[in-house]
């Protein structure tokens, strides 16, 4: 993930982004917080191309993904 993408994430708190991850997962996520110190993003899951990972969850959890596991970020709404 580039510095510009980290800045995009920081500017996207409360907005929906698409995270393309290093393992091939593509997540649509509503960004809750971004930590440059911890180098991670916390979000509410909107959708995933790998939904089986989340089928045992109750649906009210926030998720955390380290920057190192994110290939790219794209803003989905303004």
Torsion of CA 46, 51, 53, 54, to 10 degrees: 50
Domains of the chain: 3-75 (2.30.30.100)
Question: The pTM is what?
Answer: 0.89
Per-residue pLDDT of 2-61, as tens digits, reads 999 999 999 999 999 999 999 999 999 999 999 999 999 999 999 999 988 877 666 677
What pLDDT, on a 0 to 100 scale, did the predictor assign at position 57?
63
By DSSP bridging, strand 70-75 and strand 62-66 are: unpaired
Two tokens, residue 56: 């045992």
Per-residue pLDDT of 20-34, as tens digits, reads 999 999 999 999 999
Residue whose entry in the numeric block shows the structure tokens 């380290």: 66
CA pair distance 47, 60, nearest whole angstrom: 13
What pLDDT, on a 0 to 100 scale, did the predictor assign at position 53?
81
The H-assigned helical ranges of the chain are 3-11
Helix (H) or strand (E) holding 21: strand 16-21
């Amino acid at each position: 993930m580039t510095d510009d993408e980290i800045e995009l994430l920081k500017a996207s708190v409360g907005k929906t982004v698409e995270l393309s991850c290093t393992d091939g997962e593509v997540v649509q996520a509503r960004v809750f917080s971004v930590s440059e110190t911890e180098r991670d993003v916390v979000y509410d899951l909107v959708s995933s191309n790998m939904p089986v990972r989340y089928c045992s969850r109750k649906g009210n959890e926030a998720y955390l993904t380290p920057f190192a596991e994110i290939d790219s970020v794209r803003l989905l709404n303004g």
